[in-house]
Amino acid sequence: MQFQGSATFMKALPLMASAMIALLVGGLAGLGLLAVITGSTPGPLAVLSPIYGSHWFLMILGFTNALISAELLTLLSMEWSRRIAPRSLVAGFLVAYWISIALYITGSTTIALIISTIGLALVAWHTSRVLLTRSWIGLPPTHYNYLLTATPIIMAMIIVYWLVAQRLGLPSYNLPLASLILPVTAIIAVESRDIPLLLGIPPTKSLAARSRSLRIRAVAAYITSSLGILALASDYTSIGGMLIAVGGVLALTSVALLEAVERASKAVPATVKRHVATHVTLSYAWFIGAGLLALASSLGVIKGIALGDAVTHMLTLGFMFNVIMGIDAILLYGHAGISLDKTPPPQPWPGLLLNTGLALRILHDIGLLPGWIAVAGGALTGVAIIIFYVRNMINIRRILSQGVAKEPWNTP
């Protein structure tokens, strides 16, 4: 027996599978690169040495891009409008996606980036047609809709300007660092909606007395963080660090976490509340910490730091993956049409491994631990991510095979 949620989830699988492949290959390439940088031996990962330089592309314009596009083209699209992107559009995105990856790892950087921009444009076109209209139950678009629509557009503009600047000799920025805008802004946009939704508070009624203030903070966080990342990528380290830290504080306050937990539906188990609160707190701690670390480096408080590596992984492994493990670990079941009472209790082990491994890596970046520990930390984060996805995919498949009833806990 298949329900609407599970049918939509199955249509998202090609995009999610693409994300997982890019994550696995990019993660292994990154681990091999980390071993080389720290003076360790990459071992069997040496076979991936030709694509070490493609690590950032596989992780951001590969994994992150496909994961966000899976949400925008299928899951969130269905929630908002009760329709998903046409198969031809999804197929077009996937063709552009895989061609861009193949071209980038073979050295055709410019063409790969152009094709990636085309894929982002397809996602932006669909999102603007769906999320900027009234929902299927008549709700008007909110800041969440506008910010999500803006995200692929901004990323495409960042790539286009970088390509033009390289050709014309204009002032530019570090593109891998600047590309962090894609995951960071998407998460800021979606979390201000997902936390109340996950905890059983209807979006139209949640925190009503403060809703305007929370929306303003979310938009301010989105803009401030984007400018901070661009400043950091342009070597304005002190300005970038300050703006990223401020953006993280604004983003954290925009989700009103404590109030949302207190007002959560009684149907939400205490274990889920604790899990969400813990991972959201950790995610924003890494976010704000990335900005403060950059600021401390620019002021000379911390010297000899591998700042680019530290900030990149604090914002991706720390911010993004804590959100994935804390929020998506539960909402993923809702997207598959699985009712809350059928959702397995969240497990703390992947998060513990992830944050421990990341802490080891950052301690190496600031010069406190030897390189082999950084490699061990990188391996630990990889194991955590694999355990997380494999466990949840197995559980979803098992539950769907038994047949489940859809409940409105994940419906706007």
Domains of the chain, first to last: 4-410 (1.20.210.10)
Number of H helices, E strands in the chain: 18, 0
Instruction: Assess whether pLDDT exceeds 60 at residue 202.
Output: no
What confidence tens digit (pLDDT) does each residue in 35-51 have? 999 888 889 999 999 99
Q: Which two tokens stand for residue 149?
A: 């629509």
Residue 1 has pLDDT above 60, yes or no: no
Is pLDDT above 80 for 283?
yes
| Residue 221 pLDDT exceeds 50 | yes
Query: What are the CA-CA distances from residue 284 to residues 59, 169, 233, 355, 384 (Å)?
Result: 20, 37, 20, 13, 19
Q: Which residue has the tokens 């360790």?
A: 40
3 pLDDT exceeds 50? Answer: no
| Stronger pLDDT, 81 or 260, i.e. the higher one | 81
Q: CA 395 to CA 336: how far, in whole Å? A: 11
pLDDT band at 375 (very low <50, low <70, confident <90, very high): very high
Rounded Cα distance between 335 and 113, Å, is: 31
Indicate if the alpha-carbon torsion angle 282, 182, 81, 215 is positive or negative.
positive
DSSP state of 268: S
Residue 190 reports pLDDT greater than 90: no
**In this predicted model, which residue has the larger pLDDT, 260 or 124?**
124
Mean pLDDT of 156-167: 96
Select the more confidently predicted residue: 378 or 208. 378
**Which pLDDT score is estimated for 5?**
53
What is the CA 363 to chain-centroid distance, rounded?
Answer: 23
Within 234-348, residue ranges assigned H as helices are 237-254, 257-262, 270-298, 307-313, 321-323, 329-335
Residue 322, both tokens: 């804590």
Residues, the chain: 412
Confidence band for 304, pLDDT divided at 50, 70 and 90 = confident
What's the rounded Cα separation, in Å, for the pair 406 and 169? 55
- In this structure, of 144-148, 240-244, 364-368, 405-409, the range with the lowest mean pLDDT score is 405-409
Give the global pTM: 0.91
Confidence at residue 271, expressed as pLDDT on a 0 to 100 scale: 82
How does the average pLDDT of the chain come out, rounded? 88
Place of tokens 């859809």: 406
